[in-house]
Amino acid sequence: MNPLRDWQKDSLWAVLALLLLLALPLASPSRVVIDFIIRLCAMGLLATSLNMLVGYGGMVSFGHAMFFGSGAYVFALMLQKASVSVPVALLSAVVACAVLAAVIGAICVRLKGIYFSFLTLAFQMLLHSIIITWTSMTGGDQGLTGGIPRPVFWGIDLAQSQHMYVFCCVMAVGGLLAMRLLMQSPFGYTLRMLRDNEDRAAYLGVNVWRVRLYAFVLAGVFAGLGGVVMSLFVSGAFPDFSYWTMSGEAVFMIMMGGIHVFIGPLVGAGLLQIFNDTVTRFTPYHGLALGVVILLFTLGFQRGVTDIFRVLRRPSHEAPSAKETS
């Protein structure tokens, strides 16, 4: 394994992906395609950041959307009420999500299994209740309506759809690349070690609580970036961003796309969006149809799409390992 070569390869793939996304409006200028990509950027960041905890750390969070909603609200509030520049609002959202994740994570990562999962859900519902009841600040159940100002910065005018599309794509690709490099770093492999054998890692001198807390904070920050992208897309922020159903969708994305391949959650986010956009046109029983699809993946395939391809590509003499994550 050559870390420098891996870093160069991942960076090259990120540049190629960004160029492809930037060229896509030229090939298909449809507003539907552009909106789909922007939503995919937001949900891809949310799902991939959650997989940092689930796939790499073995920590299943049921409340990850609290950071998605926090990033959206802080970013929108800073622009709408504080009248700051976009970079300052973005930095404020990142710092707020990091602080929130550090406070909540310091408590949650001490627990394991279902106790960790439900404690994250409890904190998410607490945050959602604050958003609903603090009407003067958050707009209550109506959300932050009226749009958010988008002052020009560094020659970038987010009021123009082309500029906003490029900005969201750069944010998403940059965030995904950063997560990929983190998971391929010694920190990422330490996180895998904790997932596979916590007792052995502790015996080797790893501070289990600290590593898991770092992972929790990083995952919260990247989920907050996804919330910023979604806030730009809807020109506001809404309580649904931090509701338990949003966390559930992120879990569905991981299950559909795959846990053991880095781009699996991104693939799952795209599949879920396509599924939602298609099914709602033909039937009002969207939840029932989604449940059937999830059962198909969990009970039928027992793995996500990218995991299936990974198994098919594995040489026949190699035994599959359910704990591998690349």
Q: Going by C-beta distance under 8 Å and a sequence separation of 6 or more, which residues neighbour residue 65?
A: 46, 124, 223, 241, 242, 243, 244, 246, 247, 250
- pLDDT tens, position by position, 99-120: 999 999 999 999 988 999 999 9
pLDDT at 301 over 70: no
**Residue 89: which pLDDT band, with cuts at 50, 70 and 90?**
very high
pTM given for the model: 0.91
Interior angle at CA 190, CA 9 and CA 65, nearest 5: 80
For position 104, what pLDDT does the model report?
96
Q: What percent of the chain has pLDDT over 70?
A: 90
Least confident of 58-67, 144-153, 284-293, 298-307: 298-307
Helix, strand, coil tally for the chain in percent (to 5): 75, 0, 25
Contact at 8 Å (CB) between 55 and 285?
no
With residue 75 as reference, give the H or E element that holds it. helix 65-80
Radius of gyration of the chain (CA): 20
Cβ contact 79:89 at 8 Å? yes
Please tell me the predicted confidence (pLDDT) of residue 250. Answer: 93
The mean pLDDT value for 186-197 works out to 92
Given this model, what pLDDT does residue 322 score? 43
Tell me what the pLDDT averaged over the chain comes to.
Answer: 87
Residue 312, pLDDT score = 66
Could you write out the DSSP letters of every residue in 3-44? Answer: HHHHHHHHHHHHHHHHHHHHHHHHH---HHHHHHHHHHHHHH
Q: pLDDT for 234-253, tens place per residue?
A: 988 999 999 998 998 899 89
pLDDT at 37: 93
Dihedral sign of CA atoms 112, 117, 123, 126 in order = negative
Dist. CA 313–CA 293, nearest whole Å: 24
Instruction: Give the C-alpha separation, 243 to 319, whole Å.
Output: 40
Residue 170 φ then ψ, to 5°: -65, -40
What's the whole-number mean pLDDT along residues 208-216?
A: 95
Reported as half-sphere exposure (CB side, CA atoms, 13 A), residue 16 has a value of 6
Tell whether the model's pLDDT for residue 317 goes beyond 60. Answer: no
Domains of the chain (ranges; CATH) run 3-247 (1.10.3470)
How does residue 144 score in pLDDT terms, banded at 50, 70 and 90?
confident
H/E stretch holding 188 reads: helix 186-196
pLDDT digits (tens, 9 = 90+) for 2-28: 666 777 888 899 999 999 998 888 877
pLDDT of residue 302: 64
Token reading at 307: 């995991």
Stretch 125-137: mean pLDDT, rounded?
Answer: 93
Out of 66-70, 107-111, 131-135, 298-302, pick the least confident: 298-302
Average pLDDT rounded to a whole number, residues 162-181 = 94
d(C-alpha 202, C-alpha 194), whole Å:
8
- Answer with the residue of higher pLDDT: 6 or 270: 270
What average pLDDT does range 64-70 have in this prediction? 95
- What's the rounded Cα separation, in Å, for the pair 138 and 142? 9
| Residue tagged 């996500």 (tokens) | 304
Whether 235 and 25 have beta carbons less than 8 Å apart is answered as no
Q: CA torsion 93→99→100→103, rounded to 10°?
A: 180
H/E element, 86: helix 86-108
